[in-house]
């Protein structure tokens, strides 16, 4: 793994192989009180230059699936099954040392809370420079020069002066930029952003998202954006995968999904967000609670909260919502949803 960016930074992985392929990923946490099924068969692909948003509420498994890709889940208690292929190589069967070498130059990650994700005892320049010392064996002087360059690139004002400052001396937005600088230091092929703007106020959110977009345009990296913020998804992402109870329940381009949802859960999400056109009207929250991941309801996991559900005799054969698990299927060109009655939902 010496200087991988010279061969891959141009944005051309081996033809036909997606950058990242997640194949039927399962993550369970075995605890004394029972097994928590955090991720239950998630599959997706990511191409270079693509932005995939993974949307879902707390506990939908979106962060856990990202941590599984990153290889930072402790196993045990976590049990990971399925396939995670980075440029065709399966991360799960690879040795720990090979996996470690991919983290940073291959896949890297931005965390939600930048203050707690930066080590309080080191200057930000040291932490950004650490990437070059760990992966490239750079000298301290070289690492510091690179750190300033990166801080400039993520538009931290007066980078050369602030490189020796400590994380607590930065504002929230600047800290998140430091985090981004660390994550993009080695020109990763894939950047996973786990709720990168949740801890920031709205104006800073927009700046950080703009920065991520610019960096992506510049380097051609694949971006996985994990969020529960519909506005962010709408602005930045090409494609969106909606997660519920550890499954992908709907997938398609952002335009399609946001215009007309094919799954009742996505539909509910859209209706629960204030919109300018509906000013003065009432918001419609999704009734009920997200499921307990240690006891996910049988059949469609969303059926207890679903307004479109059909139970017993009302259901079509093999499409009973409380007993038959709906597979993720093609419901319209380029769109997939895991609902027995997507066609009805689409019409609404």
Partner 1 sequence: MTDQQQADLRHDEVQAGTTTGLASPSVDVTSDRQNSLWSDAWAYLKRSVFFWIGAVLTLLFIVMAVFPQLFARGQDPRACDLANSKARPSADHWFGYDVQGCDYMSNVVYGARNSLIIGIFAVLVVLVLGVVVGAIAGYFGGVTDGVLSRIADIFYALPLILGALVLLRVGPQTDIPIINSRGPGAVALALALFGWMTAMRLVRSQVIAVKSSDYVAAARAMGASNSRILVRHILPNAVAPVLVYTTITIGVLIAAEATLTYLGVGLQRPAFSWGLQIEAGQDSIRSAPHLVLFPSIVLTLTVMAFIMMGDALRDALDPRQRA
Residues within the interface to partner 1 (CB under 8 A): 70-72, 100-105, 108-109, 111, 113, 116-123, 125-126, 129-131, 134-135, 139-141, 143-145, 147-149, 152-153, 155, 159-161, 163-164, 166, 168, 179, 182-183, 214, 218
Rounded to an integer, what is the distance from CA 50 to the centroid of its chain? 13
Residue closer to partner 1 by CB (options 23, 152) is 152
Please state, in angstroms and rounded to a whole number, the distance separating the CA atoms of residues 336 and 143. 46
Tell me: cis bond preceding 280? Omega within 30 of 0 counts.
no
Check if the beta carbon of residue 11 is closer than 8 Å to that of residue 218.
Answer: no
Question: Closest by alpha carbon to 302, among 315, 314, 290?
Answer: 290
Compute the least distance from the CB of residue 273 to partner 1, in Å.
28
Residue closer to partner 1 by CB (options 136, 340) is 136
Residue closer to partner 1 by CB (options 21, 149) is 149
Please state, in angstroms and rounded to a whole number, the distance separating the CA atoms of residues 113 and 128. 17
Residue closer to partner 1 by CB (options 67, 342) is 67
Please state, in angstroms and rounded to a whole number, the distance separating the CA atoms of residues 119 and 127. 8
Residue closer to partner 1 by CB (options 169, 287) is 169
Compute the least distance from the CB of residue 43 to partner 1, in Å.
23
CA distances in angstroms from 125 to 30, 38, 128, 130, 164, listed in the order given: 39, 36, 5, 8, 6
Please state, in angstroms and rounded to a whole number, the distance separating the CA atoms of residues 161 and 347. 58
Compute the least distance from the CB of residue 24 to partner 1, in Å.
23
CA distances in angstroms from 329 to 204, 231, 299, listed in the order given: 38, 26, 16
Compute the least distance from the CB of residue 117 to partner 1, in Å.
4
Check if the beta carbon of residue 107 is closer than 8 Å to that of residue 85.
Answer: no
Residue closer to partner 1 by CB (options 96, 276) is 96
Sheet with 89-90, edge to edge strand ranges: 34-46, 20-31, 78-86, 89-90
Compute the least distance from the CB of residue 91 to partner 1, in Å.
13
List, in sequence order, every residue forming a beta bridge with 192; answer none if it has no partner: 109, 224
Residue closer to partner 1 by CB (options 71, 246) is 71
Compute the least distance from the CB of residue 344 to partner 1, in Å.
42
Q: Specify burial of residue 160 (Cβ count, 10 A radius: 0-12, 13-18, 19+).
A: middle
Compute the least distance from the CB of residue 158 to partner 1, in Å.
8
Residue closer to partner 1 by CB (options 182, 321) is 182
Compute the least distance from the CB of residue 211 to partner 1, in Å.
10
Please state, in angstroms and rounded to a whole number, the distance separating the CA atoms of residues 161 and 310. 64
């Amino acid at each position: 793994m010496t200087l991988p960016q010279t061969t891959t930074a141009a944005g051309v992985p081996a033809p036909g192989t997606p950058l990242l392929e997640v194949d039927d990923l399962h993550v369970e946490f075995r605890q004394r009180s029972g097994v928590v099924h955090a991720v239950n068969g998630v599959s997706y692909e990511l191409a270079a230059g693509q932005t995939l948003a993974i949307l879902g509420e707390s506990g939908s498994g979106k962060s856990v699936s990202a941590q599984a890709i990153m290889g930072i889940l402790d196993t045990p208690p976590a049990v990971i099954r399925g396939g995670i292929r980075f440029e065709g190589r399966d991360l799960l069967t690879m040795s720990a040392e090979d996996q470690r070498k991919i983290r940073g130059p291959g896949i890297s990650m931005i965390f939600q809370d930048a203050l707690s994700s930066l080590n309080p005892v080191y200057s930000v320049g040291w932490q950004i420079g650490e990437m070059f010392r760990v992966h490239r064996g750079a000298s301290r002087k070289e690492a510091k020069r690179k750190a300033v360059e990166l801080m400039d690139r993520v538009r931290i004002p007066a980078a050369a002066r602030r490189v020796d400052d400590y994380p607590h001396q930065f504002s929230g937005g600047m800290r998140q930029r430091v985090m981004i600088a660390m994550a993009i230091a080695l020109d990763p092929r894939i950047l996973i952003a786990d709720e990168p703007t949740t801890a920031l106020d709205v104006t800073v959110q927009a700046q950080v998202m703009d920065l991520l977009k610019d960096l992506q345009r510049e380097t051609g990296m694949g971006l996985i954006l994990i969020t529960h913020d519909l506005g962010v998804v709408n602005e930045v992402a090409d494609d969106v995968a909606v997660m519920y109870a550890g499954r992908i329940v709907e997938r398609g381009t952002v335009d399609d999904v946001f215009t007309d949802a094919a799954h009742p859960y996505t539909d509910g999400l859209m209706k629960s967000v204030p919109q300018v056109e509906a000013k003065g009207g009432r918001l419609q929250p999704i009734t009920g609670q997200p499921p307990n991941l240690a006891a996910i309801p049988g059949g469609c996991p969303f059926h207890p909260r679903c307004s479109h559900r059909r139970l017993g005799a009302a259901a079509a054969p093999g499409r009973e919502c409380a007993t038959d698990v709906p597979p993720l299927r093609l419901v319209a060109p380029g769109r997939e949803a895991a609902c027995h009655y997507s066609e009805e939902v689409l019409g609404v």
